[in-house]
Amino acid sequence: MNKKIEDLRLSQTQQTEGIRKELGGEIAEVKATMEKYFANTPPPTRQHEGSSGQTSAEKSNEPYPPDRALGEQSTCREKTSQFNLDQNPNPPLHNSISSRLTKIGFPMFDGSVLREWIYRCEQFFSFDSTLPELKVRLASLHMTDKSLQWHHAYIENRYNIFPLWPEYVNAISERFSELCDDPLSELVSLKQANNSIDIYLEKFDCAITRLTLPPEQALSIFLTNMNQHLTIHVRQFNVTTVPAAAQIAKLHELSLHHTPAKPSRSSFNPYQEKNSSPP
């Protein structure tokens, strides 16, 4: 038994020494190869210094990284301002009297041309998005002469309570409107006569603004009151709107103005040649 143990120890010792010899030889070869490589390669001192200088210069030209603290502060400010806008119970009104559109000028009224003044006021209210309770107050600031005197008396009789715009229009129309005002009769009685198409269309548009007519009825009235020779020419194109009819009528009217007049022929007189011939 002891002999077997000694044999095992001896074999292990021999194997260990063989492994050490193999490893020692390989390590020696690697060491010799490294020494030979470094011995043949010069030390890159200058090149390394240049590259390091270039690297430092490049680093100096690089922009500074953004400050995260400043970015977070600006983000917080934006969120705070947005929160304040959301929580503000009284935001600024875009349709207040001090709107930027009030710079276009509100129409003045002195008691004449009431229809045009009301139309221009309603246009202004539409563009400016004026609040309903401010329309009459804004209009009263642009009254003069007898219209302003009437306004003061009207408001005093109402105990300084301003009405809404439709009620105010009815009241001011009773005072300053024309006698026997009939918009439809005025439109129907409007004829082209000796006026051009442009003038006729301008008068037609001014008269029809007070009415609400279907396009077919407006076109029928426009063509009926137009000069007959223009109406016949326009109806050939089957137009459906007043602007289209006016455009065709203007082109035809322009072509008539540029048509050269035909020379008049003298009537044949057989006795004229006999009288002019020598005896």
> How is the chain split into domains, by residue range?
100-176, 183-256
Say how far residue 40 (Cα) sits from the centre of its chain: 77
Among 1.10.1200, 2.30.30, 1.10.3910, 1.10.150, name the CATH number for the domain at 183-256: 1.10.1200
- 33's enclosing H/E stretch is helix 2-40
Give the tokens for residue 28.
């020696």
Per residue of the chain (279 residues), give pLDDT as tens.
777 777 777 877 887 777 777 777 778 787 788 787 777 766 655 544 444 445 554 545 555 555 555 555 555 555 544 544 455 444 444 455 445 544 678 889 998 888 889 989 999 999 889 999 999 999 999 999 999 999 999 999 999 999 999 999 999 998 988 756 678 888 999 999 999 999 999 999 988 987 889 999 999 999 999 999 999 999 999 999 999 999 999 999 998 887 776 666 665 555 555 555 555
Q: Is 85 helix (H, G, I), strand (E, B) or coil?
A: helix
With 0.75 as the threshold, say if the pTM is over it: no
d(CA 33, CA 40): 11
